[in-house]
Amino acid sequence: MSKKALLVVAQNGYQPIEYANTRAELEKAGISVSVASPNGGTATASDGSSIETDLSIKDADIDNFDALVIIGGPGARESLSALPELGELIKSAYEKGKIIAAICISPTILAEAGILKGKKATVWSAPGNEFGIEILKQHGAEYTAKSVEVDGNVITANGPAAATDFGKKIAELLA
């Protein structure tokens, strides 16, 4: 039976390269991909393009998936970090030993869900904007500055340039 990954995107402002490249690598590896957003339906990327999602985050059952992947982008921090149902999904996936992955600013959401304590992780940052690094450290993660970091069943990546390698690493851990 093929493995299944749930990609989570912001309703508005997800990063389209991170979404497209990660999804392409998973599908290339034969992994079935479903996409969830806060409300389901149409999700709009930061460049104005859009996709139809398969379900809302509240309707996602982690038992139906082998991996939970959170895509970044400017909307990720604003809309996803405030969702208690996403926090619960992350914790449930972690407790069940699923692969959990986050790219760009989204590793901060994993940190706030409490699953990065004592783990190596990376996150998007820029000179003068180290907000993500601060959040990771506040929640006990060890920031590594790598483009893709793997610690156990948790994979983090720092942005669009890392999306292809991020997708390959998720596929590798699911194999």
β-partners of residue 129 are 126
104 belongs to the catalytic site: yes
Question: In angstroms, rounded to a whole number, what is the distance separating the alpha carbons of residues 23 and 132?
Answer: 24
Torsion over CA: 175, 103, 5, 113 (sign): positive
Which residue is catalytic, options 104, 105, 133, 135?
104
Question: In angstroms, rounded to a whole number, what is the distance separating the alpha carbons of residues 28 and 15?
Answer: 20
Question: In angstroms, rounded to a whole number, what is the distance separating the alpha carbons of residues 26 and 141?
Answer: 26
Question: In angstroms, rounded to a whole number, what is the distance separating the alpha carbons of residues 122 and 26?
Answer: 21
Q: Pairing mode, if any, of strands 148-151 and 12-14?
A: unpaired
Question: In angstroms, rounded to a whole number, what is the distance separating the alpha carbons of residues 118 and 48?
Answer: 37
Which positions are annotated as active-site residues? 104
